[in-house]
Amino acid sequence: MGIQQLLGLLVVICCSLCGPLAGSTGPDDRPLTDPKSVVSASNSAARPAPVDDLYYTRSVFGAAWSPDGQQVVFTSDISGRSNLWKVSASGGWPIQLAQSDDRQYNAAWSPDGKWIVYQQDRAGNELWDLYAVPSDGGEVINLTNTPAIREQDPHWSHDGSTIALAYKPKDGSQYDIALLNWSTRKVQKLTNEQQPGYSWNVVAWSSDDKTIYANRVNPPFTDADVYRIDVATGKMENLTSHQGTIRYLASSLSPDGRTVLLSSDAKGGYMNIAMLEVATKKVTWVTDLKWETYAGNFSPDGKSYTYTVNEDGLTDAYLVDRSTNQAKKVDLPHGLNYFSGNPNEFAPQSDRVIVSHEASNQPGDLWVYNLNSRHADQLTFSVIASLRATPLPPSQIVHYKSFDGKIISALLWVPFNLKRDGSNPALVLPHGGPTGQMVDYWNTDVAALTSRGYICIAPNPRGSTGYGLDFQKANFQDLGGGDLKDEIAGVEFLKATGYVDPKKIGITGGSYGGFMTLIAIGKAPDIWAAAVEEYGIINWSTMLKSSDPSLNEYLKALLGNPDENRQIYEADSPITYIRSEKAPLLVLQGDNDPRVPKEEAQQVVDILKKEGRVVDVHYYPNEGHGFAKRENQIDSIRRTITWFDQYLMGKSTAP
């Protein structure tokens, strides 16, 4: 997704979201939304947002300070590909550092400032290599060049001699930590994980480069510990040993090496901020919230640190003075507000931080926030100017009860100028994961659809993150069961607004959202008038035979052992129900998807064609899980609009 944007941008575009939950302390006391309170605002300037304008608006993310604090490198698709760009920290025209048809992520400056190391894959296959480019431009070097191994997420040692990284063979299910010798380019594993599906990730080097601090996480992301590892011997110590299922996730090491900043759900299953004293392993809590709270980093001078709070899909960023432990919210508009920086959002001088802002109708950008003046200067400019003249409907958070009384949060977008006469089309947008959350990010697909008259609702059903661990685990061995009913309850909410025609409801999503689309049209065929699924799962059993092994361990953690739980795999697979579907279905799929392989899409299409149903498919060459190339993003949304226009609005013309 895109990341960031701030105050004066897109003046004509409506502000995002109606506001945070006044008086709400967490998921338990979310107020229910009266469907009749939902309104379609009048706007005489409303028009369909030009597709090209939406998708030529750039994504900007993955910022990293230069060691002298004078420059910032980031990833952007300015050229239509996610490549590395560099800009002066005081602003100016960005310079493209590396050009490739493939994705370039996680840029990290060498301590001497001469090199930038990053990860790049091939045609979306996620088999990342580490590359290096001179920071002033020059020949790109493939440091690892291992087509059958993933090497990603580089972290330089302070002396610049070694890069710690995440390491996984193509056929392996575990992520280990490995060390790359900068001089020899030799890679050597530091950890040797034996538990299937477990992942190690680097947090920080100690100041003397003798120790690495790291997290070890289980496959369903329900349990995690913080370790320190001796670099010379590989000997490791668990700093957060515990009983039961608890997540301790370190994010930063204080400059003096005495304290680890971490997030943990040890307080009642909700993520909060804490300090871990390395010597004694004592944990001291900083926050006590029931909204999802994540730690950021210590400042290089050790005087400050950061964290963010995700309140029901809205994120706020906080700066904390360590001497008083007083937190101050960075004053940004509602949306997603957080810090960006690898390995640290703070400038080396500790006087500035990189902040980001975006919302579903506001493209994202990076800003440099001065801690002394409390003033932010815009660093990147991602929006196409013509979008300023195109008002986009804002999102709002709504809450409704599902079949068993659980409260479900959803993001809702209502187009301008609709009549409350039960005549309008609507779309349900299930999110990916399922361990994920729909938040208020810059959403080009939603902007394209809502500006064309489609009411859109994106629920966060059981299994979603952001609402506590119990809610996250509520769909275990019940994929497409209770969570599908939560999505259908969203349909009932839409009908109750009085705007929606029950015969004009569609559904579309990607990945797990694609799975949800398929199981929805199979298990509840009378609800849906049309569907578009992107790289979704039709059969969990075939997924286990062809998908990435680390993802397979995650799926087993959700569904259970396949040999012992065959009935669950069958009951939770759309293939069991797909022959009952009635909705015309469009399937969009990347040829080179390592997570949901092309065979899943082929099964869907073959079955429905044999049944004589209305189905179409398009495969995108050199694309993996999701469509990264601009021309394919544009093509996929045009196909989606055309499909829904035909089957929900009765139109036959292209958008």
Q: Kindly report the average pLDDT of the chain as a whole number.
A: 94
Query: ω before 434 within 30° of 0 (cis)?
Result: yes
Q: What per-residue confidence (pLDDT) applies to 480?
A: 98
Distances from the Cα of 624 to the Cαs of 126, 585, 600, in angstroms?
A: 8, 21, 14
The CA-based angle 127-464-535, given to 5 degrees, is 45
Domain with CATH 2.120.10.30 in the chain: 239-381
Q: What per-residue confidence (pLDDT) applies to 389?
A: 83
Phi (first) and psi of residue 45, to 5 degrees:
-90, 0
Domain with CATH 3.40.50.1820 in the chain: 43-54+386-648
Decide: helix, strand or coil at residue 310.
strand
Span 410-439, pLDDT tens digits: 999 999 999 999 999 999 999 999 999 999
Q: What per-residue confidence (pLDDT) applies to 653?
A: 57
Q: What per-residue confidence (pLDDT) applies to 25?
A: 83
Q: What per-residue confidence (pLDDT) applies to 214?
A: 98
The CA distance from 115 to 108, in Å, is 8
Q: What per-residue confidence (pLDDT) applies to 361?
A: 87
Fold of 43-54+386-648: Rossmann fold (3.40.50)
pLDDT class for 5, splitting at 50, 70, 90? very low
Q: What per-residue confidence (pLDDT) applies to 332?
A: 85
Lowest mean pLDDT among 10-19, 438-447, 468-477, 585-594: 10-19
CATH of domain 239-381: 2.120.10.30
Average pLDDT, integer, range 251-255:
98
Q: Considering just the CA atoms, what is the radius of gyration of the chain in Å?
A: 24
Distances from the Cα of 204 to the Cαs of 112, 207, 342, in angstroms?
A: 18, 9, 11
Distances from the Cα of 478 to the Cαs of 474, 568, 569, in angstroms?
A: 8, 8, 9
pLDDT class for 333, splitting at 50, 70, 90? confident
Average pLDDT, integer, range 102-106:
97
* Residue 655 pLDDT > 80: no
The CA distance from 581 to 570, in Å, is 17
* Residue 11 pLDDT > 80: no
Query: How large a percentage of the chain has pLDDT more than 70?
Result: 96
DSSP 175: B
Q: What per-residue confidence (pLDDT) applies to 652?
A: 75
Place of tokens 């960031």: 4
Query: Which residues are registered as beta bridge partners of 362?
Result: 359
Q: What per-residue confidence (pLDDT) applies to 446?
A: 97
Average pLDDT, integer, range 590-595:
95
Q: What per-residue confidence (pLDDT) applies to 7?
A: 23
The CA distance from 38 to 574, in Å, is 33
Span 371-414, pLDDT tens digits: 999 999 999 999 998 888 899 998 999 999 999 999 999 999 99
The CA distance from 440 to 19, in Å, is 12
Average pLDDT, integer, range 36-63:
96
Average pLDDT, integer, range 322-335:
91
Average pLDDT, integer, range 289-314:
97
* Residue 113, phi-psi category: left (phi > 0), alpha (psi -120 to 50), beta (remainder): left
Span 351-365, pLDDT tens digits: 999 999 999 988 999
* Predicted model pTM: 0.93
Write the DSSP string, 149-171: EEEEEEEE-TTSSEEEEEEEETT
Span 529-557, pLDDT tens digits: 999 999 999 999 999 999 999 999 999 99
**pLDDT top residue among 215 and 651:** 215
Span 482-519, pLDDT tens digits: 999 999 999 999 999 999 999 999 999 999 999 999 99
* Residue 23 pLDDT > 60: no
pLDDT class for 13, splitting at 50, 70, 90? very low
* Residue 146 pLDDT > 90: yes
Average pLDDT, integer, range 567-585:
98
**pLDDT top residue among 334 and 66:** 66
Query: How large a percentage of the chain has pLDDT more than 90?
Result: 92
Q: What per-residue confidence (pLDDT) applies to 6?
A: 24
Q: What per-residue confidence (pLDDT) applies to 12?
A: 25
Average pLDDT, integer, range 207-235:
97
